Amino acid sequence: MSECVLCATDASTVLWRDAFCRVIWVDEPAYPGFCRVILGAHVSEMTDLPPAARQRLMAVVFAVEAAVREVCRPDKINLASLGNRVPHVHWHVIPRWANDRCFPDAIWAPAQRAGTPPQREHLKPLLATQLAARLGQSLPG
């Protein structure tokens, strides 16, 4: 589907990928370490996938959560699969801190404070390294 923004790949944001899915860096300065796990096939709902594919995708989501926890040391992790605007299976893995601008509400809620995000330098390569350790080497492209 040419209209689907998640079907298009921006190689500069890819932290890890295989033939099944990819993990991208979401450039959200207030939430450093925010990643998105995107299914390679254009599928709208998790229940459209066979059970084995669901399990495989969730194994990647959980590996991303573990890598984000290890690298970013957040107070909490939010996992979200919405797809209301883009009906393509994908998961948001969002590190949260008690002093972030929306905590304890969702990151899409109105800001409650200015927030003080942690430093972001070197997070992308550290996350890519953690993902390779947990999921195996990423495929090129």
* Domains of the chain by start residue, with CATH: 11-135 (3.30.428.10)
List Cα–Cα distances, 8 to 5, 28, 41, 109, 122, in angstroms.
6, 19, 11, 27, 25
pLDDT at 2: 57
The answer to whether residues 120 and 56 touch, using CB atoms and an 8 Å cutoff, is no
Q: Is the pLDDT of residue 1 over 60?
A: no
* Residue with token string 């495989």: 56
Percent of the chain's residues with pLDDT above 90: 77
Per residue in 38-58, pLDDT (tens digit) is 999 999 999 999 999 999 999
What's the chain's length in residues? 141
pTM: 0.93
Percent of the chain's residues with pLDDT above 70: 98
Q: Is the pLDDT of residue 138 over 90?
A: no
pLDDT at 101: 95
User: How would you list the strands of the sheet with 35-39, edge to edge?
Assistant: 14-17, 21-25, 35-39, 90-96, 76-80
Q: Is the pLDDT of residue 8 over 90?
A: no
